[in-house]
């Protein structure tokens, strides 16, 4: 008798060692059809492997993220099989699952995407053949013998410990693989090859160059289509593309990874910071500024010199070592320590829009998302232990207000004490308890990442969700028990004794450059009026009307609007089209009628046109809309 315990506690008994498939069939045929693999006492196993002893079994279906990963790995095998059928001289190396799909690195003649149709057609045949995927265990010597003509697989096997090695076979194809896999190739239903690029064996440029073929796979065509549509949307919204089209920012070889912001980009930037400053003033923050370059002994004290040096830009001047700051914190500690503090002064909320530099490898740089120089909307809050909850709650509310302004949803994650950490149990309890009670008081759900905090304290991360449903970690609220210690910060308590303040670092935009990039993609370049680089463009319908258009623009600039006059001798149609491509929210045509009446004709990006709005009314309405920083352009109706 074999006793199988299912996750809901129910028990199934078998008079023979069952396979995972037998367990699934014992529940229902429908379930069995959608089963991908099984977890047997926490070990992943193929469905057709027998379970030799009593065990806790969890079936993995097409609905589980893990099921998708397993199927994608099988899809990599199907692709490799197809490639070998079409290119018999190809030699396989490794083919892992990656985010959103899989790839296989293959030593073969260079191919282009034009080869994809043929490979996909061959893959379809293999899928249609519904070949059973079977696991076989062999000794190391057998495995070496089997792969005697496959140099890459040989090299991999040689590196393995002695003992049994597993192969997976489907029809004429065998691969060295740990598994698990779906039961047969027919489960690889909806797939697509995405791209091919060169890759070196073992990522070593002195070794053979391989073809890395990327693909993706889903359990049904609908999911595949949805994913491809998402990619197309993401491509259209790419902030580098839009940044160039709207003339917002650029990168130059003279400073790799360090963005240059153009006048239009700065208009957006300043609008972001004006808003940020307004919110922070209201929330009781003061603003500070610390140097970007400071002496080595500061960085030794903060620990950056020892722990972060390879990411820092350093220099020597007047026989002294300096480093450009990678973080604003040490400067912030010096400012707090510059004078004596009483408990009555706390909390102190000191913000700094600080420019930091961190050296990143050139390979990981990615537009504004990953740069080497960026501004953080930092703040350090110094407080007494009994202020933790209120202060964290205050930050959470501020986070909520600011993200909502952009129509960004978000979720919260709390990371607790890791294995290696400084501080006493009591300190951690106070700190983590403070964050938790603030989260509870705030009332939103949050996820707990057990043991994921920094060594110096627990933290709350805020993940925003953009218009495409992608999530980005931007905000973070991090409690720090290390820096106040290193900088010997103190305040005098009610008891007249010296106490260490509790300190948090927090950002909301995070890297302002990155947040800028996220907003470009979130709005697809169609910024709300208050953020738009150019808010109003005036289109004189002939050259005689240019002075009138300019006069109107001057009135609007006085009312605080960002305007442009299109003085080109182009047709009105062309001017309108170009203004739409620039995503300018308000497009005004200036004709003789408007001049005579002192009115404006407004076209919005939704294609609606309104005539005969008095200029004074227009200015007042628009200024009002901008002051309220409203998301939707719901005017003149």
Give residues in contact with Zn ion (CB under 5 A): 177, 329, 505
| Helix, strand, coil in percent for the chain, rounding step 5 | 40, 30, 30
User: E-strand spans in 108-176?
Assistant: 134-138, 165-170, 173-176
Is 512:376 a contact under the CB 8 Å cutoff? Answer: yes
Shortest CB 623 distance to Zn ion, Å: 37
Considering the complex, state which of residue 454 and residue 529 has its C-beta at the smaller distance from Zn ion. Answer: 454
Instruction: From the candidates 240, 380, 506, 514, give the one annotated as an active-site residue.
Output: 380
Is 285:329 a contact under the CB 8 Å cutoff? Answer: no
**Dist CA 434 CA 446 (whole Å):** 15
Considering the complex, state which of residue 264 and residue 459 has its C-beta at the smaller distance from Zn ion. Answer: 459
Considering the complex, state which of residue 176 and residue 529 has its C-beta at the smaller distance from Zn ion. Answer: 176
Considering the complex, state which of residue 375 and residue 505 has its C-beta at the smaller distance from Zn ion. Answer: 505
Considering the complex, state which of residue 417 and residue 505 has its C-beta at the smaller distance from Zn ion. Answer: 505
Please name every residue paired with 107 in a beta bridge, in sequence order, or none if there are none: 91
**Dist CA 130 CA 187 (whole Å):** 8
* 376 in catalytic set: yes
Shortest CB 505 distance to Zn ion, Å: 3
Considering the complex, state which of residue 84 and residue 329 has its C-beta at the smaller distance from Zn ion. Answer: 329
Shortest CB 381 distance to Zn ion, Å: 10
Is 167:203 a contact under the CB 8 Å cutoff? Answer: no
**Measured at the alpha carbon of residue 430, what is the angle toward residues 424 and 432, in degrees to the nearest 5?**
95
Is 437:393 a contact under the CB 8 Å cutoff? Answer: no
Print the SS3 string covering 69-102. Answer: HHHHHHHHHHHHHHHHHHCCCCEECCCCEECCEE
Considering the complex, state which of residue 336 and residue 618 has its C-beta at the smaller distance from Zn ion. Answer: 336
Shortest CB 300 distance to Zn ion, Å: 17
| Residue 320 main-chain phi, psi, to 5 deg | -120, 145
Supply 29's token pair: 């045929």
| Residue 66 main-chain phi, psi, to 5 deg | -65, -35
Shortest CB 94 distance to Zn ion, Å: 8
Please name every residue paired with 105 in a beta bridge, in sequence order, or none if there are none: 212
* 558 in catalytic set: no
Instruction: From the candidates 184, 349, 459, 603, give the one annotated as an active-site residue.
Output: 459
* 378 in catalytic set: yes
Shortest CB 427 distance to Zn ion, Å: 18
Instruction: From the candidates 237, 239, 505, 562, give the one annotated as an active-site residue.
Output: 505
Supply 620's token pair: 């007042």
| Residue 540 main-chain phi, psi, to 5 deg | -65, 135
Tell me whether strands 563-565 and 599-604 are parallel, antiparallel or unpaired. Answer: unpaired
Considering the complex, state which of residue 39 and residue 81 has its C-beta at the smaller distance from Zn ion. Answer: 81
Shortest CB 455 distance to Zn ion, Å: 15
Please name every residue paired with 168 in a beta bridge, in sequence order, or none if there are none: 135, 175
| Nearby residues of 278 by Cβ (< 8 Å), 6 or more positions away | none
Shortest CB 327 distance to Zn ion, Å: 6
Instruction: From the candidates 22, 175, 378, 480, give the one annotated as an active-site residue.
Output: 378
Considering the complex, state which of residue 79 and residue 267 has its C-beta at the smaller distance from Zn ion. Answer: 79
Element (H, E) at 30: helix 29-33
* 380 in catalytic set: yes
Instruction: From the candidates 81, 170, 212, 329, give the one annotated as an active-site residue.
Output: 329
Q: 41-47: long-range contacts (C-beta < 8 A, 24 or more apart)? A: 44/70, 44/179, 44/180, 45/20, 45/180, 46/20, 46/133, 46/135, 46/179, 46/180, 46/181, 46/183, 47/19, 47/20, 47/21, 47/183
* 590 in catalytic set: no
Is 556:582 a contact under the CB 8 Å cutoff? Answer: no
Burial class (CB in 10 A: 0-12, 13-18, 19+), 310: exposed
* 247 in catalytic set: no
Considering the complex, state which of residue 505 and residue 575 has its C-beta at the smaller distance from Zn ion. Answer: 505
Shortest CB 133 distance to Zn ion, Å: 10
* 358 in catalytic set: yes
**Dist CA 377 CA 512 (whole Å):** 7
Instruction: From the candidates 358, 372, 514, 522, give the one annotated as an active-site residue.
Output: 358
State the DSSP string of 407-453.
Answer: T-EEEEEEE---SS--S-HHHHHHHHHHHHHHHHHHT--EEEETT-S
Shortest CB 544 distance to Zn ion, Å: 59
| Residues taking part in catalysis | 329, 358, 376, 378, 380, 459, 505
């Amino acid at each position: 008798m074999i006793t199988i315990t299912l996750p809901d506690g129910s028990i199934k008994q078998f008079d023979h060692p069952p396979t995972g498939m037998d367990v699934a069939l014992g529940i229902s045929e429908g379930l069995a059809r959608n089963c991908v693999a099984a977890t047997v006492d926490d070990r992943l196993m193929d469905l057709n492997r027998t379970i030799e002893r009593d065990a806790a079994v969890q079936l993995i279906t097409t609905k589980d993220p893990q099921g998708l990963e397993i199927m994608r790995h099988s899809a990599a095998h199907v692709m490799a099989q197809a490639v070998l059928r079409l290119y018999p001289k190809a030699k396989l190396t490794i083919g892992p699952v990656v985010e959103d799909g899989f790839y296989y690195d293959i030593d073969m003649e260079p191919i282009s995407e034009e080869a994809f149709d043929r490979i996909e057609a061959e893959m379809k045949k293999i899928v249609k053949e519904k070949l059973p995927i079977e696991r076989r265990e062999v000794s190391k010597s057998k495995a070496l013998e089997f792969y005697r003509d496959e140099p890459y697989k040989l090299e991999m096997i040689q590196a393995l410990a002695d003992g049994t090695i597993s192969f997976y076979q489907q029809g004429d194809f065998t691969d060295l693989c740990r598994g698990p896999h779906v039961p047969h190739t027919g489960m690889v239903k909806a797939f697509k090859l995405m791209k091919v690029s060169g890759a070196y064996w073992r990522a070593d440029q002195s070794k053979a160059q391989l073809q890395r073929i990327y693909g993706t796979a889903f359990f049904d065509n609908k999911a595949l289509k949805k994913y491809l549509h998402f990619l197309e949307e993401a491509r259209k919204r790419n902030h580098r593309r839009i940044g160039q089209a709207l003339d917002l920012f650029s990168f130059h070889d003279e400073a790799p990874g360090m963005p240059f912001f153009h006048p239009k980009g700065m208009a957006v930037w300043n609008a972001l910071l004006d808003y940020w400053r307004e919110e922070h003033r209201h929330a009781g923050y003061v603003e500070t500024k610390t140097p970007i370059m400071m002496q080595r002994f500061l960085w030794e004290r903060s620990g950056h010199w020892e722990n972060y040096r390879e990411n820092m830009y350093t220099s020597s001047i007047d026989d002294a070592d300096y480093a450009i700051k990678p973080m604003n914190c040490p400067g912030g500690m010096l400012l707090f320590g510059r004078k004596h503090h009483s408990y009555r002064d706390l909390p102190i909320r000191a913000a700094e829009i600080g420019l930091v530099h961190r050296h990143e490898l050139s390979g990981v740089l990615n537009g504004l998302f990953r740069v080497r120089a960026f501004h953080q909307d930092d703040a350090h809050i110094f407080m007494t232990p009994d202020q933790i909850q209120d202060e964290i709650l205050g930050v959470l509310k501020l986070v909520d207000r600011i993200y909502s302004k952009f129509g960004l949803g978000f979720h919260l994650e709390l990371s607790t004490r890791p294995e290696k950490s400084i501080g006493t149990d009591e300190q951690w309890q106070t700190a983590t308890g403070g964050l938790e009670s603030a989260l509870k008081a705030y009332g939103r759900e949050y996820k707990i990442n057990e043991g994921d905090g920094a060594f110096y304290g627990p933290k709350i991360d805020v993940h925003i969700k953009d218009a495409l449903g992608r999530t980005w970690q931007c905000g973070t609220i991090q409690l720090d028990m290390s820096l106040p210690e290193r900088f010997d910060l103190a305040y005098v308590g009610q008891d007249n004794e010296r106490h260490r303040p509790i300190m948090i670092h927090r950002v909301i935009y995070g890297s302002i450059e990155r947040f800028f990039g996220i907003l470009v993609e979130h709005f697809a370049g169609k910024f709300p009026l208050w953020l738009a680089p150019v808010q109003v463009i005036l289109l004189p319908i002939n050259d005689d009307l240019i002075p009138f258009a300019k006069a109107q623009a001057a009135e609007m600039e006085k009312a605080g609007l960002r305007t442009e006059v299109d003085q080109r001798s182009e047709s009105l149609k062309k001017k309108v089209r170009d203004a739409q491509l620039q995503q300018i929210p308000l497009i005004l045509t200036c004709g003789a009628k408007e001049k005579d009446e002192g009115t404006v004709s407004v076209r919005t990006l939704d294609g609606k046109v309104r005539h005969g709005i008095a200029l004074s009314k227009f200015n007042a309405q628009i200024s009002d809309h901008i002051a309220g920083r409203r998301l939707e352009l719901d005017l003149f109706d």
